[in-house]
């Protein structure tokens, strides 16, 4: 049985491997080797998959690729597979496909934007987000970096849909070049 992390890496592996014997696992503990160049059949496909990896965790980007990365983190496997096929095959999607993608993105933004509320910071650089599922934390960290700062922060979040409980995150200080 092959383990796929429930994030964009696992979706890519699932799409390329087409194996019948697999299971989805919590992505934050998955440490297997992941190299797109060794598994993708064409360079154009490889470029698109790299783009997906680059925007993973972001709340801005092209509609379909962004929706793919968000949907798989939420556990919306069927939706993410459908959107991935549209993206890779460059098929003009129906209005329903774009509506699905937009609803996924809008839902994420509605959940992430209120998280920067200063009342959620227990003490300096310790954020209490225990009511927030862990799949949202990478989006919170990106938003924090964009609007607040680059200092090291600690976050206590809720669990993942595949691994309940609390998680402790340490987002190291970002070094900015200038």
The pLDDT of residue 106:
95
Range of the domain at 28: 2-111
Which pLDDT score, from 0 to 100, does residue 89 have? Answer: 85
User: What's the pLDDT score for residue 59?
Assistant: 84
The answer to whether residues 137 and 76 belong to one domain is: no
Say if residue 102 is in the same domain as residue 125: no
Residues 121 and 69 in one domain: no
CA 51/CA 87 separation, integer angstroms: 11
Residue 178 resides in a domain: no
Is residue 6 located within the same domain as residue 87? yes
156: which 2 tokens?
């206590």
Angle at 87 between CA 83 and CA 92, to 5 degrees: 95
Q: CA 117, 61, 47: angle at the middle one, nearest 5?
A: 135
Same domain (yes/no): 106, 117: no
Which residues lie below 8 Å from residue 167, measured CB to CB, with a gap of 6+?
28, 134, 137, 156, 157, 158, 159, 160
Q: Which two tokens stand for residue 77?
A: 């496997």
Residue 176 within a domain: no
10-residue averages of pLDDT along the chain (178 residues): 88 82 83 67 79 87 94 94 89 86 95 93 94 93 90 93 88 67
- Is 96 domain-assigned? yes
């Amino acid at each position: 049985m092959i383990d796929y992390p429930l994030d964009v890496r696992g979706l890519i592996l699932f799409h390329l491997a087409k194996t019948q014997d697999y299971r989805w696992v919590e992505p934050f503990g998955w440490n297997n080797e992941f190299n797109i160049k060794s598994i993708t059949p064409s360079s154009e496909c490889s470029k698109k998959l790299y783009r997906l990896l680059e925007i993973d965790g972001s709340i801005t980007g092209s509609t379909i690729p962004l929706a793919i990365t968000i949907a798989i983190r939420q556990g919306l496997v069927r939706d993410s597979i459908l959107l991935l096929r549209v993206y890779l095959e460059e098929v003009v999607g129906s209005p329903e496909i774009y509506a699905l993608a937009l609803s996924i993105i809008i839902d994420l933004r509605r959940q992430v934007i209120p998280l920067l509320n200063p009342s959620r910071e227990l003490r300096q650089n310790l954020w209490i987000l225990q009511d927030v599922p862990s799949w949202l934390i990478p989006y919170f960290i990106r938003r924090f970096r964009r609007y607040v700062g680059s200092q090291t922060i600690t976050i206590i979040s809720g669990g993942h849909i595949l691994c309940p409980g609390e998680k402790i995150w340490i987002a190291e200080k970002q070094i900015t070049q200038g």
